[in-house]
Structure 1
Amino acid sequence: MKFQRLFKKNRKEYTTVKVNTSNVPDGLLRKCKKCSSIVLAEDVKNNNYICPKCGGYFRVHAYRRIEMVVDKDSFEPMFEGLNTRNPLKMKGYEAKVQALRDKTGLDEAVTTGRATIGGNSVAIAVCDGRFLMASMGEVVGEKIAKTVEYATKENIPVIIFACSGGARMQEGMVSLMQMAKTSAALKRHSESGNLYISVLTDPTTGGVTASFAMLGDIILAEPKALIGFAGPRVIEQTIGQKLPKGFQRSEFLLEHGFIDEIVERKDLRNRLTTILTLHKKDDKSYTDNFNIKKEKSTMAQKKRESIKMITESVKKSAWDRVLASRMNDRPIASDY
């Protein structure tokens, strides 16, 4: 107590100095989270939402992303107006969703529709991190599944831009079921012979990574994007070890074969155009590949018939079995 009285007695008095600062209009400046620099918002926008000082990537709003990659005025939104339910009766959840709708102008965390890229028709879905970190709830899963099913029906490729914190915890098991639903829709899309391009942006984590994000026929990623299931800090706390530098970044995943290519934002539209053009179904190369697959399928059917004949020849004469063994398309060891 004596020390405290002495401290208070000897303490110098400090005064707060008020500094008059000029008013800065809202939206004029933005802060880069990578280098902490304050930059003009207009400069960021004109530079594809990339920091002009350090090259760090800003997150892009869904409609801005669509504007950056699709042909001008070609985007037609689909599957809007789906109602977000509150299956767990989570307190404040409905009010939070409504507030985000008013703030962002979006109906949910993913925007879906049809467009053309380089003249190629595609179905497209773009996640928007402003809406509950683009977490996947019932409506997000439903919109993605419907978009994929539409692409399957129309016989066109589908492109999904993933940016998400994972499954939406406010919806519990209902949100987790969207992993299976979107994956099943993409499986049917693949079996119909159609292309799926997945574009991974920062961050792509949780149940989204464990479902539609990593199921692409071709998986592209933006530079230095965080991609993984559990976050690095969670993994370190679980295993009690320090992770390698750059772990779960797109460069690390490319090196270990999890993704196909890292594409800078300025090159993404051209890269998508090239991929879509190469996979056009009316191309001769596609037709030739289809005919080759058809021919292989016919040969496989013949081999199956040969196997059946040899199996049934057990009941036949020795000479019948000799004739079966001399067939040119008789099955070999790998067929068995």
Structure 2
Amino acid sequence: MTRRWTAAELLDLVFDEGSFVSWDEPIDLSYADASPDSGYRAALEAAAEKAGTDESVLTGRGEVRGRPVAVVVNEFRFLAGSIGRAAADRITAAVRRATAEGLPLMASTASGGTRMQEGTPAFVRMVEISRALMDHRAAGLPYLVHLRHPTTGGVYASWGSLGHVTVAEPGALVGFLGPKVYEGLHGRPFRPGVQVAENLAATGVIDGVVPAEHLPEMLDQALAVLVDGPGPGRLPAREPRPIGDHAAWDSVERTRRTDRVGVRDLLAHGATGTLQLRGTDEGERDSTVLVALTRLDDQPCVVIGQDRSRQTPGHAMGPGALREARRGMRLAQELGLPLVSIIDTPGAELSPEAEERAIAGEIARCIATLTTMSVPTVSVILGQGCGGGALAFLPARTVVATEHAWLSPLPPEGASLIVHGDTAHAAEMASRQHIRATDLLADGVVQHVVPEVEGESSADLAVAVAAEIGARLRSLRA
């Protein structure tokens, strides 16, 4: 069974030894004397004795492997972690202070929501917490959320759902509506398995399931991207050489091979400290696109990558995948991080369902977002670059292609069908449509081509591409 951590235990676990400093002022309980509930003050005093804390939240700052971080952490043993006015004001003050001091913020929740003994005056305080958090985010500061068991109600529907990165502990009950409330209102139990951390991760509501014991490592990974500056780079750059005059169809066939380099190879061999995010955080997840915080050749960045290994005839890159990509774009822009987009797709989903879920609109919105970003952007055509799905990831300040990468409005077979009424002329159409990396370079679509070495491993090409990305990011930052 998953251990349930107290607030004090969690602070000791996450922060470097001796680094935590409380920001909390003593709470005057005289406000409780005005409550219609004559026993409310006594309940607060009993809760404090039971929990060992003066309220349901503790705030302060500490260090995570030497990096200063502000924190808000729930104590569930204090009246089920419920948020009254004093607790809400303490959270708001901590968020405002974190913003003023330029600190990243971590919140760890475990709460039943608004404190019912205080009713609406406490309930509306969630708005002020949210307002403070959005000001913190607007300042370009990271907000990381760790959902503990249980997190429900107004806490989950406000500061528990506004993180740049959100994870939950294994088996945690996380939901807007408490299951007991649902059963009491409807006379039947809530469907099991819905409000569980693992299900929310699988459906793209949260980014993952992380035991508290692994939280320091995850925070270190995230902060290495979100806080630490760029390094000088360590990967060997590939020496430039004339690009061969390859047949376009040869490049098409090479990029369709199952052992061809992909975005996962790029992250495995050219990046460190990768923290993959999952889903849109709005209830959609599509594995054909990968979003990650990482350091490519020691350059902190957000990567959005088309994962060819997850794209099949039965599972093409759909609207949800493009919405995930736009989440990555928003994160990069808001946090001031470079964005790297990786193109490697046989094409976006073509189906009635995709049409009803706005596939064309999502392609357009990706293009529009990329063309208006102010952070450094690098796009890499890694292999197949087919149709609107590829175009959605293309706009960037610098576009790089591998030697055998290609870009076309349709697969060559589709172009052949339109022009000749059959697929037999696919190779001819590939040649005629100027799809090769050399053609793209000549036309100014790409600015650099990474040479490929005959017979090299996917790992070797991944390192060469990552080195080129790192060099381009360093140039854009200069």
> TM-score, normalising length from structure 1?
0.67
Q: Which residue of 1 aligns with 2:17?
A: 72
| Correspondent of 2:155 among 193, 208, 214 | 208
Q: Which residue of 1 aligns with 2:459?
A: none
**Residue identity in the other structure for 2:26:** G
Deviations 1:207-232 (A, max 9, x none): 11111011111001000100011122
1:242 CA displacement = 5.7
**Structure 2 contact 114–123 (Cα < 8 Å) conserved:** yes
Q: Once structures 1 and 2 are overlaid, which stretch shifts more, 74-83 or 231-240?
A: 231-240
**Structure 1 contact 196–217 (Cα < 8 Å) conserved:** yes
**Structure 1 contact 108–140 (Cα < 8 Å) conserved:** yes
Q: Which residue of 1 aligns with 2:217?
A: 270
Q: Which residue of 2 aligns with 1:157?
A: 104
Q: Does 2:166 align with 1:219? A: yes
Q: Which residue of 2 aligns with 1:138?
A: 85
The 2-side partners of 1:242 and 1:298 are apart by 49
**Structure 2 contact 50–77 (Cα < 8 Å) conserved:** no
The 1-side partners of 2:3 and 2:41 are apart by 28
Q: Which residue of 1 aligns with 2:28?
A: 83
Deviations 1:40-88 (A, max 9, x none): xxxxxxxxxxxxxxxx123222111111111100000012213242253
The 2-side partners of 1:155 and 1:124 are apart by 13
1:241 CA displacement = 6.2
How do residues 13-32 of structure 1 correspond to structure 2 at under 5 angstroms?
Answer: none
Deviations 1:67-113 (A, max 9, x none): 11111000000122132422533211011112222343311111111
How do residues 1-336 of structure 1 correspond to structure 2 at under 5 angstroms?
Answer: 56-84=1-29, 85-86=31-32, 88-236=35-183, 238=185, 243-280=190-227, 282-283=229-230, 285=299, 290=336, 296=372
The 3 A distance-change label for structure 1 pair 137 and 242 is closer
Any idea what SS the aligned residue of 2:63 has?
strand
Q: Which residue of 2 aligns with 1:23?
A: none
Q: Identity of counterpart residues, as a percentage?
A: 34
**Structure 1 contact 79–146 (Cα < 8 Å) conserved:** no
Structure with bigger strand share is 2
The 1-side partners of 2:223 and 2:39 are apart by 43
Any idea what SS the aligned residue of 1:71 has?
coil
1:235 CA displacement = 2.9
1:234 CA displacement = 3.1
The 2-side partners of 1:136 and 1:224 are apart by 23
> TM-score, normalising length from structure 2?
0.48
The 3 A distance-change label for structure 1 pair 239 and 283 is farther
CA RMSD of aligned residues (A): 2.6
**Residue identity in the other structure for 2:219:** L
Deviations 1:214-269 (A, max 9, x none): 11110010001000111224335545666443120101111111100101232111
**Structure 1 contact 120–277 (Cα < 8 Å) conserved:** no
Structure 2 residue runs without a partner (length 5+): 232-298, 303-331, 340-370, 376-478
Any idea what SS the aligned residue of 1:126 has?
strand
**Residue identity in the other structure for 1:140:** A
Structure 1 residue runs without a partner (length 5+): 1-55, 300-336
Deviations 1:140-162 (A, max 9, x none): 11111111111111111100100
**Structure 1 contact 59–129 (Cα < 8 Å) conserved:** no
The 1-side partners of 2:89 and 2:176 are apart by 21
The 1-side partners of 2:116 and 2:39 are apart by 13
Large movers: runs of 4+ above 6 Å: none
Deviations 1:138-184 (A, max 9, x none): 11111111111111111111001000011001111111022101100
**Structure 2 contact 149–174 (Cα < 8 Å) conserved:** yes
